[in-house]
Each structure stands twice: as C-alpha cells, then as structure tokens.
C-alpha cells in the first residue's frame, strides 16, 4: 500500500505536539512538521493506515493505546553511538573513575552510575567497558550501573544488546569490540558478563525519580536539548538532589548547565567538561 | 608541520576516497597499491604519521605489511589503521595482535574514519 506523505495539517501537528509534550516532555516547534510526518509514516504504514493524517485521526478518537505509545517513541530522536564524542570517556577512564576508586576504596567500595536517556544502550555499555578496563578488582566492588529511557522500544533493544556492524564500526575502539562482543554473522552481541553489569528500566525524566539512588556519575547526554527551558530547570533541580557532592553530571558535547542552573560548576578534564554541585575536590 | 599519511589499497577508487578525506584533514597523502610498494615508500620517504591499510592486495597483503612494519622500531610511531572488508572478529584480533592500532570494517563513511582517528588522538583540529 502506498502511504501519502503530504504536509501535516496544522491541527494535526498541534495535536501530536500536545500529545508529545504531555507524555514525553519533548517540545516541538513549528519547524518540526516535516520531521514528524516522516517519522510517523512508518507507524502509519505498519498499522495499516493509508496516511499519516488517518493515523492521527485514529489517535484523536481514542484514549491512550499501543499506537499512541508507538507514535511517542517514533517522534523521539534516538541517535546515539558507542563512546560518543570519545573525550568524555577518555576523561572517565584516565581521571574521573580512578579518582572515585581512590576515594571509595577504603570506605564503601561502591559506585553508582546512571544513564538517564540511554537510547539503545551504547552509552551504558561504553561505561561498562571502561569500568572493565580500569577497575582491576571489579569483583570486590559493588557497582550499580543503571540505564533508563523514556522509550520502551529502546529499552528492549538495549537489553537485547545486539548491534549491527554499522553501529560497532563507529567510535568503538577495535580492541574493546574484540574483547566485549561475540559475532554472529552480521550482528554483534555484547557479551553476557558486560550485559549483566547494566540494569535497564523505563523512566520519563520529567516524572518521579523513584528507585534512583544518589549517584557518582549521572549521564544526561543529548536529551535536555529536546525540552523547553522550564523542563530543563526542573530536571536539573532533581539532578542536584541525586548527585553526590563529589559526583559528576555528564552532558552532551554541545550542552551546558550555564544559564539554566547556577548551582553547578563546570570542571574541565582535558577536552571534556563535567558538572558538579557541591564541595567536591574538582579535577 | 604537515602530517603525512600513506593510503594502501589496490583499488584506485578507494585510494582516491581515502586520500580525499585525509587531504581535507590537512594530511599530505601518498598512495600505494600493495604492502610491498608501501614498504618501499616508507623506507625512502618519511616519516609518516598514519597508514590506512587494506587487507587483501596482490603481492603483499595488508596483514603482512603490518607485521613487517611492527618489526621495525623506527616505525614505532606510525599509526596503522586497517580499512577492510575482512569483517570477522578473528581477523580483527589477528590484526590487532600483529600491531594494528585500529580497524575499520567496510563499508564505512567519512564520519567513522574521523571517529577512529579521534580515538588515536590524531584527528585534525576541527572546531
Ligand atoms: C539523542 S538520544 C541520546 C542518547 C544518548 N544519551 C547519547 O547521548 O548518545 C535521546 C534519548 O532521550 C530519550 N528521551 C526523550 N525524552 C525523554 C524523557 N522525557 N525521559 C527520558 N528519556 C527521554 C529518547 O527516547 C532518546 O533515546
């Protein structure tokens, strides 16, 4: 069946925009009309609607259904990669994690790490691979590596831990690929022992953060950019409560807390910058 | 000082693509059609900072080239990146053990190459 791809009517766009804002907190400005219709096209096709407009008419006529969820998940940008931007991971490997290990070695021997928008899992798995590299006595530590995302579909993919050649060819050092994956034809499966290190669950960052402990490292990379300023501030206030005073918030390459929340201070590690709330000893 | 790279691939088209990307990054690039020719270039010119190495080539393969280069202490600073259709994990391990620094599976794109160079700390200073 051919599905027509014409522009969305303003009323349809407004409906989707409100739905998305309400459920995933993502703000869509007027320029996103084309993006929305192209992302909803596969959903319309998959569900047997002859156009995106028909799909939206269906959404309007019902309370929340599985199709609504699919639409919400399709609208979110989920682009990610292993060791994205590399420099933050270099800083974690060479400075930040060794420092944390030194501080916690004689006390709790515990590390809590949370990736709050983990998409298909490349980010937490990169962290797990770094931990395996730099924590020699890893079995004697309690390391909690949490990873969540708004999208159930992404969490499912992340839990599977199966990646395409295209995905492992990007940004992932070859020696870590060889050490941490098994190859099955054209797909690459993260090894069981790495997978076991990560606990995946679904969470909307703009809802209650239940079951989230105080963390040493909090990754909120390339996600706040999709929210309006008020939502970003609201989330950063929660970060303040969940980040240990000597822990770090790690954002995307082009993101910053500056102008949003002045209780964070920026700490530079080589070519990466992280954020800290309290009295931490810094770099 | 301008950085120098050697692109080793028996396909002229591939050499052109890779040289183009490295040229944009500011490298001065030379090409070789197989490992033997590449060794001659390394021995006569130089010093080179980076070599992109295909696996399957007539005469001397990329794998043999890597082994030869790693025998020579004076080439210790040369970064070796395999760029190949050999997509088996066992091949990748062999190449890394022989002394390759990175490994890119074909097909690849420019972004992937740049990311791998960033891992080696030898990407050009882009903003
Ligand atoms: C561009 S990806 C970034 C992935 C990864 N952090 C990285 O930097 O590579 C953005 C992710 O944020 C998720 N997301 C969007 N809105 C969210 C929300 N309200 N709560 C939690 N996750 C959300 C999306 O599902 C998507 O997987």
- From the CA of A163, how many Å to the nearest CA of chain B? 14
Test A173 with B119 for CB contact under 8 angstroms: yes
Look at residues A174, A178, A159, A166 and name the one whose alpha carbon lies nearest to residue A120.
Answer: A159
Cα A126 to averaged position of ligand 1 atoms, centre (Å): 16
Q: Which residues of A touch B87 (CB under 8 A)?
A: 165, 186
Task: Give me the count of residues in chain A.
Answer: 283
Q: What is the CATH number of the domain that holds A44?
A: 1.10.155.10
Nearest to A138 by CA among A193, A212, A199, A213: A193
**Nearest Cβ partner of B96 from A170, A171, A174?**
A174
Residues A66 and A101 in one domain: no
Please determine, for the modelled complex, whether the ipTM score is greater than 0.90.
yes
Do A206 and A249 belong together in one domain? yes
Structure tokens belonging to residue A269: 């590690």
Q: Do A238 and A180 sit in the same domain of this protein?
A: yes
Domain boundary among A75, A105, A122: A75
Same-domain check for residues A205 and A244? yes
Q: What is the pLDDT of residues A227-260, one digit of tens each?
A: 999 999 999 999 999 999 999 999 999 899 989 9
CA of A145 to the centre of ligand 1 (A): 17
pLDDT of residue A178: 98
- Residue A4 pLDDT > 80, yes or no? no
- Assess whether A36 and A103 both reside in one domain: no
The DSSP output letter for A139 is: G
Give yes or no for residue A5 having a pLDDT over 80: no
How do strand A187-190 and strand A243-251 relate by DSSP bridges?
Answer: unpaired
Q: How many helices (H) and strands (E) does chain B have?
A: 5, 5
What the block records as the tokens of A59 is 């959404």
User: pLDDT digits over A36-70, tens only?
Assistant: 999 999 999 999 999 999 999 999 999 999 999 99
The pairing of beta strand A265-269 with beta strand A272-276: antiparallel
Contacts of B123 in chain A (CB under 8 A): none
Q: Which of A76, A85, A88, A80 is nearest to A164 (CA)?
A: A80
Q: Give the domain CATH number at A239.
A: 3.40.50.150
3-state helix, strand, coil in chain B (%, to 5): 45, 20, 35
| Interhelix angle A66-75/A33-46, nearest 10 degrees | 140
Count of other CB atoms within 10 angstroms of residue A7: 12
Size of interface A-B (CB pairs under 8 A): 38
CA nearest to A85, candidates B79, B123, B107: B123
Please indicate, yes or no, whether residues A254 and A117 belong to a single structural domain of this protein: yes
Kindly state whether A15 is in contact with chain B, defined as any CB-CB distance less than 8 angstroms.
no
Q: Mutate one of A85, A129, A169 to test the B interface: name it (highest B CB count within 10 A).
A: A169
Rounded Cα distance, A99 and A175, in Å = 24
End-to-end CA distance of chain B: 19
Which residues on chain B are in Cβ contact (under 8 Å) with A173? Answer: 102, 119
Across the range A30-34, mean pLDDT stands at 89
Of A248 and A8, which is predicted with more confidence? A248
Chain B residues within 8 A of A271 when measuring between CB atoms: none
Residue with tokens 């810094």: A282
Q: Residue B121: which residues within 8 A CB-CB, separation 6 or more?
A: none
pLDDT tens profile B27-50? 999 999 999 999 999 999 779 999
- Give pLDDT, residue A3: 52
- Of A149, A158, A205, A228, best ligand 1 pocket probe by most atoms within 8 Å of the beta carbon: A149
* A1: in domain: no
Instruction: For residue B23, give every residue at least 6 positions away whose Cβ sits within 8 Å of its Cβ, in sequence order, or none.
Output: B29
B54 to chain A, closest Cα gap in Å:
16
A170 shares contact with chain B (CB less than 8 Å) = yes
Question: Is residue A182 in some structural domain?
Answer: yes
By residue range, what is the domain housing residue A29? 10-75
Q: Count CB neighbours of A147 within 10 A.
A: 27
* pLDDT score recorded for residue B121: 85
Helix then strand count (H, E) for chain A reads 12, 10
**Burial class of residue A164, CB neighbours in 10 A (0-12, 13-18, 19+):** exposed
Q: Do A59 and A112 reside in the same domain of the chain?
A: no
- Answer yes or no: is pLDDT of A99 > 90: yes
A257, part of any domain: yes
CA of A77 to the centre of ligand 1 (A): 7
Q: Which residues pair with A148 in a beta bridge?
A: A201
Low-confidence ranges of chain B (pLDDT < 70): 123-127
Does A20 score more than 60 pLDDT? yes
Q: Last residue of some domain: A75, A98, A129?
A: A75
For chain B positions 65-94, those within 8 Å of chain A (CB to CB) are: 87-89, 92-93
Both A118 and A59 in a single domain? no
CB distance B32 to B19 below 8 Å: no
- Is A80 part of a structural domain of the chain? no
- Whether A171 has its CB under 8 Å from any CB of chain B: the answer is yes
Residue A2 is assigned to a structural domain of this protein: no
- pTM tops 0.80: yes
Q: Do residues A267 and A149 both lie within one domain?
A: yes
**CATH assignment of B4-119, among 3.40.50.2300, 3.90.1410.10, 3.40.50.1220, 1.20.1250.10:** 3.40.50.2300
Verify whether the Cβ–Cβ distance B115 to A181 is below 8 Å: no
Same domain, residue pair A60 and A148 = no
Output the six-digit token pair for A21: 């804002």
Q: Which residues pair with A134 in a beta bridge?
A: none
The partner residue sitting opposite A165, judged by closest CB among B87, B96, B100, is: B87
Helices of type H across chain B? 12-24, 35-44, 62-71, 89-98, 110-119
Start-to-end CA distance of chain A, whole Å, equals 58
Handedness of CA B33, B34, B40, B43 (dihedral sign): positive
- Evaluate whether residue A82 is within a structural domain: no
Number of domains in chain A: 2
Among candidate residues A75, A104, A126, the one where a domain is terminated: A75
Burial of A234 (0-12, 13-18, 19+ CB in 10 A): middle
Are A83 and A89 spatial neighbours (Cβ–Cβ below 8 Å)? yes
Strand, helix or coil at B24?
Answer: helix
């Amino acid at each position: 069946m051919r599905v027509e791809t014409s522009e969305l009517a303003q009323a349809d766009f407004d409906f989707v925009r409100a739905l998305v804002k309400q459920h995933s907190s993502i703000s869509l400005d007027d320029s996103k009309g084309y993006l929305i219709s192209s992302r909803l096209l596969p959903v319309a096709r998959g569900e047997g609607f002859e156009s995106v407009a028909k799909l939206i008419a269906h959404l309007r006529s019902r309370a929340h259904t599985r199709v609504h969820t699919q639409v919400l998940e399709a609208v979110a940008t989920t682009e990610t990669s292993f060791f994205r931007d590399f420099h933050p991971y270099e800083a974690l490997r060479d400075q930040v994690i060794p420092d944390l290990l030194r501080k916690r070695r004689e006390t709790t021997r515990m590390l809590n790490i949370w990736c709050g928008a983990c998409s298909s899992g490349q980010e937490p798995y990169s962290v797990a691979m770094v931990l395996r590299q730099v924590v020699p006595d890893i079995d004697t530590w309690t390391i909690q590596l949490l990873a969540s995302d708004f999208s159930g579909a992404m969490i499912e993919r992340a839990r599977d831990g199966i990646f395409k050649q295209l995905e492992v060819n990007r940004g992932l050092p070859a020696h870590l690929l060889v050490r941490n994956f098994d190859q099955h034809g054209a797909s690459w499966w993260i090894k069981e022992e790495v997978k076991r290190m990560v606990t995946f669950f679904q969470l909307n960052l703009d809802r209650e953060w239940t079951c989230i402990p105080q963390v040493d490292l909090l990754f909120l990379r390339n996600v706040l950019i999709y929210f309006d300023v008020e939502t970003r501030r609201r989330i950063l206030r929660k970060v303040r409560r969940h980040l240990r005073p000597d822990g770090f918030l790690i954002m995307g390459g082009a993101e910053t807390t500056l102008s949003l929340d002045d209780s964070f201070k920026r700490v530079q590690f080589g070519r990466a910058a992280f954020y800290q709330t309290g009295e931490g000893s810094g770099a | 000082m301008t950085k120098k790279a050697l692109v080793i691939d028996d396909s002229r088209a591939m050499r052109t693509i890779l040289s183009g990307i490295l040229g944009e990054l500011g490298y001065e690039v030379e090409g070789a059609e197989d490992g033997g020719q590449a060794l001659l270039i390394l021995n006569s010119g130089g010093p080179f900072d980076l070599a992109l190495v295909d696996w399957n080539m007539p005469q001397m393969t990329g794998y043999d080239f890597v082994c030869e280069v790693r025998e020579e202490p004076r080439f210790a600073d040369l970064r070796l990146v395999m760029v190949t259709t050999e997509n088996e994990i066992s091949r990748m391990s062999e190449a890394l053990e022989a002394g390759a620094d990175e490994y890119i599976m074909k097909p690849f794109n420019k972004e992937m190459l740049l990311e791998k160079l960033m891992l080696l700390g030898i990407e050009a200073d882009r903003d």
